[in-house]
Amino acid sequence: MKRVKLPLLPGLEVEFTDRDRAIRQVEELAVRGTALPMVIYGPEGCGKSALLRQATEVLRELGYEVFYLNPLDRAYHADVTMPDIKNAFMQFVEKALAENAVGRIAWGAIDFVHKVLKARKAKIAVIVDDVFQAIGLQQAAAYVKGLLNLIEYPPQSYENAVVLVATSEGLSKREIGRHRWADLTTMWNMPKGGFEELYRKIPAKPPFEDAWRLTGGNPGILKQLYQLNWDVDKAVEAIMRAKSLLEFARLLSKEEREWLAEAVEDPDTLFIRERLPLMHRLVEHNLVTDVYLRQEHLWIDQPPPQRDPELGIGKYLAWQTPIHREAVRRALKEIT
Ligand SMILES: Nc1ncnc2c1ncn2[C@@H]1O[C@H](COP(=O)(O)OP(=O)(O)O)[C@@H](O)[C@H]1O
Ligand SMILES: [Mg+2]
């Protein structure tokens, strides 16, 4: 099976690295099909988009007709064997893009899957990357239901169907989790061995242990730090700005600020009743992820390590990356 090439840095493409279990999981899904759409949630930059690109390749090689939608990158493909449908889809996409109607593409793709199924009994895959911002977060659950209908009530019987959806939105995870319309799984940052393999592929870098301690195995942060010449302060500030962390911290009560300061030292301290509302806000801001269910089948690729205080990983909760934790620490410091 071919590993796809992915742009990592300007002028540097790397092969999809490690994640062997994730690839096996996709191959297993190709055999069984997904009974429910599989929604893959995970820290920003952990490698969900990379995995979906690899999954597209795996499924295509296994004879699937594949629709791939990635509104953030404005990338849409119909890897289908029927040229008419493929052309019609591309025309539809172009028109919608020209009219700035990306949400329409997400919904419209479902109609094109119907067209494929009407034409032949096929193996069909729908791979949807970060679509919830494009269609609006309130619509996330409805869209997942739309994808589920595709599996449950197809216009014609199909041979097999695989539906994969990735998102970093903590908010959508809760929203989707309330319904029984999806299989909710989580992907974590890369395990140390795999991350080291990726790290070796980039030029100019600090010793590996430093890179590991800073990124926690998050390839997105690795890429960002490289581009910032390993200026950690700048990476921390970028997250503070992107998430408006100064405002976030100012809005907290004195007591909540104390809880947050404790959580910077140990995220599990948030996992008690009166602190859960604060925890939910951190999840919604994509700063913290719950990790207390570590059963393998709930994870794509490896679950996070059991506990790693240095990286901010607790038994129940984890900071998405050490840089996210640092950004919160800095915000708290700046407002006191
Ligand atoms: N397993 C991997 N092998 C090679 N590059 C990867 C891998 N995982 C992630 N990357 C690269 O790291 C960067 C961040 O990953 P990405 O998939 O965009 O994260 P996410 O979608 O979870 O935010 C991208 O440039 C991506 O191509
Ligand atoms: Mg992504």
CATH number assigned to the domain covering 5-187:
3.40.50
d(CA 194, CA 52): 17
Query: 14, 41, 49: which to mutate for ligand 1, most atoms within 8 A of CB?
Result: 49
What is residue 171's predicted lDDT score, i.e. its pLDDT?
A: 80
Ligand nearest to C-alpha 51: 1
What is residue 173's predicted lDDT score, i.e. its pLDDT?
A: 83
pLDDT in tens, 273-304: 999 999 999 999 999 999 999 999 999 999 99
* Residue 283: other Cβ atoms inside 10 A: 20
Domain boundaries, the chain: 5-187, 203-295+303-335
What is residue 137's predicted lDDT score, i.e. its pLDDT?
A: 87
Q: Which residues of 232-242 are buried (b: 16+ CB within 10 A; e: fewer)?
A: eeebbeebbee
What is residue 177's predicted lDDT score, i.e. its pLDDT?
A: 85
Is the overall model pTM greater than 0.85, yes or no?
A: yes
What is residue 114's predicted lDDT score, i.e. its pLDDT?
A: 94
What is residue 162's predicted lDDT score, i.e. its pLDDT?
A: 98
Ligand 1 lining (C-beta closer than 6 Å) = 6, 8, 14, 16-19, 42, 44-50, 168, 198, 219-220, 223
What is residue 131's predicted lDDT score, i.e. its pLDDT?
A: 93
d(CA 180, CA 39): 12
What is residue 55's predicted lDDT score, i.e. its pLDDT?
A: 98
Residues 38 and 93 sit within 8 Å (Cβ to Cβ): no
pLDDT in tens, 1-56: 899 999 999 999 999 999 999 999 999 999 999 999 999 999 999 999 999 999 99
Residue ranges of the chain with per-residue pLDDT less than 70: none
